[in-house]
């Protein structure tokens, strides 16, 4: 039976302070406040992206400091490194999964650093490129690999995993109430024709788990501001394709050894499963005496930032400091 959603009246449109096409780093001021990078320090950005966070960190550590940045997506590196080079301070950027951060640091002769940042969300460049298959708003191949040079695509997973495996993923990773129905529809569809395109999957999800907007008095047909089945399924597939939770678990495991005494780790998550892992790791490290302090509650974007940058809506920033 179709689920029905309400949404509150949308706020009036306002002029955005961000120029069209500009990629905005999430929670930038909060990240800088938490990491507090100082001249001469060495800091790491595990998710370079468009270098929004990295540029500010590099400016603050200055010519006597150093930035080490990694990105799983090689397409991000050319533009990002150009922006960093314009600043003129020492940096090293590598095409690497942040789970392999110890090896990256060892490769440049660094054993411990003063701060580590990981922004776990997708970059807007990835979302905007239809050929990458991350967005159901644009028709493209069901790829979703952050590193398109390796690994299985979303299409390969959809067309090979069993109905039980798909349902478990949609339920456990995506919190999708209609996980079984969607999984069954996928298996039925691929028996006739393998799923290959984002719009094919979007249409199938809409048929298997339809959502009926309710009419609000005087507001027209609107839906509630929350994740709908298509969003949850696409997010789940992206996490599976890129082994994101396993990579995050590894990063959290090695972080204490990579930070100098008094060093700070800051992680921005956009998914409840990611946030639970970060919260648990920082809490357990605090209890074990590995960390001297950790955030009690996540830092969230301001209402103004959410209006200026809708990508920031679900962001949560947590931090921990070593002894």
- What are residue 215's DSSP bridge partners? 221
Render pLDDT for 10-53 as a digit per residue (tens, 0 to 9).
443 333 333 333 468 999 999 999 999 999 999 999 999 999 99
Output the pLDDT for position 215.
55
Place of tokens 């460049």: 125
297 pLDDT exceeds 80?
A: yes
Q: Would you give the end-to-end CA distance of the chain in angstroms?
A: 54
Mean pLDDT of all residues in the chain?
Answer: 90
101-108: long-range contacts at Cβ-Cβ below 8 A with a sequence spacing of 24 or more? 101/44, 101/46, 101/70, 101/251, 101/254, 101/258, 102/254, 102/257, 102/258, 104/68, 104/70, 105/44, 105/68, 105/258, 108/68
Average pLDDT (161-170) is 98
45: enclosing H helix or E strand: strand 42-45
- What the chain holds in terms of domains, given with CATH numbers, is 3-14+134-243 (1.10.150.170), 28-124+245-322 (3.40.50.150)
**Pairwise CA distance, residues 94 & 70, whole Å:** 5
Confidence of residue 283 (pLDDT cuts 50, 70, 90): very high
Output the pLDDT for position 7.
43
| pTM, to two decimals | 0.87
State the angle between helix axes of 244-258 and 272-287 in degrees (0 to 180), rounded to the nearest 10: 30
Render pLDDT for 229-281 as a digit per residue (tens, 0 to 9).
999 999 999 999 999 999 999 999 999 999 999 999 999 999 999 999 999 99
* Longest alpha-carbon distance in the chain: 64
Render pLDDT for 196-238 as a digit per residue (tens, 0 to 9).
999 999 999 999 999 876 555 555 555 444 569 999 999 999 9
306 pLDDT exceeds 60?
A: yes
Output the pLDDT for position 10.
41
């Amino acid at each position: 039976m179709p689920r029905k959603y309400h949404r509150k009246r949308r706020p009036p449109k306002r002029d955005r302070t961000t120029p069209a096409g500009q990629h905005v780093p999430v929670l930038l001021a909060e990240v800088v406040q938490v990491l507090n990078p100082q001249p001469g320090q060495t800091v790491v950005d595990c998710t370079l992206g468009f270098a929004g966070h990295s540029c500010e960190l590099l400016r603050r550590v200055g010519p006597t400091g150093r930035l080490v940045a990694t990105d799983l997506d090689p397409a991000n590196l050319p533009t990002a490194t150009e922006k960093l080079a314009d600043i003129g301070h020492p940096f090293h950027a590598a095409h690497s999964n942040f789970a392999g951060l110890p090896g990256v640091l060892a490769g440049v002769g660094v054993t411990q650093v003063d701060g580590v940042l990981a922004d776990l969300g997708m970059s807007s460049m990835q979302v905007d490129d239809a050929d990458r298959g991350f967005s159901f708003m644009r028709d493209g191949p069901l790829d979703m690999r952050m590193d398109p040079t390796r690994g299985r695509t979303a299409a390969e997973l959809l067309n090979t995993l069993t109905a039980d495996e798909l349902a478990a993923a949609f339920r456990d990773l995506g919190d999708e109430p209609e996980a079984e129905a969607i999984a069954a529809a996928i298996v039925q569809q691929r028996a006739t024709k393998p799923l290959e395109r984002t719009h094919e999957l979007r249409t199938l999800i809409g048929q298997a788990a339809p959502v009926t907007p309710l009419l609000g008095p005087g507001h027209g047909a609107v839906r509630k501001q929350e994740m709908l089945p298509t969003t949850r399924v696409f997010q789940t597939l992206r996490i599976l394709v890129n082994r994101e939770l396993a990579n995050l678990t590894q990063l959290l495991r090695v972080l204490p050894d990579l930070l100098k005494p008094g060093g700070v780790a800051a992680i921005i998550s956009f998914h409840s499963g990611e946030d639970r892992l970060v919260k648990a790791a920082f809490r357990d490290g605090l209890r074990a005496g590995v960390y001297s302090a950790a955030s009690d509650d996540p830092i969230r974007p301001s209402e103004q930032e959410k209006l200026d940058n809708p990508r920031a809506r679900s962001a949560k920033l947590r931090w921990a400091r070593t002894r």
